[in-house]
Amino acid sequence: MLATRLFAGSRLAFQPLSTRAFSSSPTNANLKLAYDFYEAEKPDAKKDPIVFIHGLFGSRKNNRSMSKVFARDLNRPVYAIDLRNHGESPHDPRHDYTALAEDVEGFLQEHKIERPALIGHSMGAKTVMAVALRGKVKISSLIPVDNAPVDAALKSDFGKYIQAMRKIEDANIQKQSEADAILAEFEPNIGVRQFLLTNLARGKDGIQRFRIPVKYLASALDNMADFPFKDPEEARWEGPTLFVRGTKSHYVADETLPIVGRFFPTFKVADVDSGHWVISEKPQEFRDAVVDFLQDAE
């Protein structure tokens, strides 16, 4: 359930909109990020675009349906991007929030995207917070989803997922059902397994392999628990900010809210009755929170 103290509900309907897939050119040393572009039905230059960023082991495809909804309901263009080492974006052994933020900044500069609303889930949440606090580009609104600007250990599940992926790759399997059987030893939730298995692709030899560089991401798990900013006195972003958190998740616990407020003094919180996978678990509530917040910010 969405926190009614902040928002009112409405029905969610997914309808097709025109979508274009692109790759961006790198700016400076930033990587070339793959992305999809969702056009607003009635383009309005006065409305800020949205840049939508996935979480660890995800991709822009995870946000396809919601990107269409935002383009339609908010009448804003939406860019859904793949961060480095995810989806169709390049692989690089460096994977930390400073590098991820630099990639996003380069993407915005290359495409002349001015004052976007940044939405990011999990790893994407810390990435958009880092972009805001770095102050290298101008943004209009910030929506971190189920993560906080603190150093906090990842759930042990992520380490298990890495183990499962390595076991799948070592098995040289040819059927996704075989990969799912291995993954089921580590993760009972079929929805989470299906999410992870979207990273599998069949090679010319018929073997299923992961698109993501499992070795690089395994080495980066400690970086994903970290946050590059430690002192709110040295970095602060005072623009409109909405933290959407799952009430069954521990990533934005009540005790983190004072530090959230020091980094982002105008922040609001929308509580959704879900676990960490807020967007896929409760799409209607997530949509309502974001649409209401961005409409109020216009």
**pLDDT tens per residue across span 260-281:** 999 999 999 999 999 999 999 9
Q: How many domains does the chain have?
A: 2
User: Which of the residues 122, 141, 274, 280 is marked catalytic?
Assistant: 122
**Domain assignment of residue 92, yes or no:** yes
**Domain assignment of residue 114, yes or no:** yes
> Do 196 and 128 reside in the same domain of the chain?
no
Residue 274 appears among annotated catalytic residues: no
Residue 10 has what pLDDT?
A: 33
- Say which residue, 296 or 21, is predicted with more confidence: 296
Q: Which residues, including other chains, have CB under 8 Å from residue 94's CB and lie 6 or more apart?
A: none
> Do 199 and 106 reside in the same domain of the chain?
no
Query: Which residues constitute the domain of residue 204?
Result: 156-221
How high does pLDDT run on average in the chain?
Answer: 89
Q: What is the pTM of this model?
A: 0.88
**Domain assignment of residue 185, yes or no:** yes
CB 32, CB 85: distance < 8 Å: no
Residue 278 has what pLDDT?
A: 96
The three-point CA angle 185-187-190 to 5° equals 110
- Say which residue, 14 or 63, is predicted with more confidence: 63
**pLDDT tens per residue across span 182-215:** 999 999 989 889 999 999 999 999 999 999 999 9
Residue 67 appears among annotated catalytic residues: no
User: Which of the residues 95, 140, 276, 280 is marked catalytic?
Assistant: 276
d(CA 16, CA 19): 9
Q: Which of 183, 199, 221 is the last residue of a domain?
A: 221
* 3-state SS record for 91-152: CCCCCCHHHHHHHHHHHHHHCCCCCCEEEEECHHHHHHHHHHHHCCCCCCEEEEECCCCCCC
> Do 278 and 215 reside in the same domain of the chain?
no
Residue 27 has what pLDDT?
A: 39
> Do 107 and 254 reside in the same domain of the chain?
yes
The residue type found at 239 is G
> Do 45 and 89 reside in the same domain of the chain?
yes
Residue 38 has what pLDDT?
A: 97
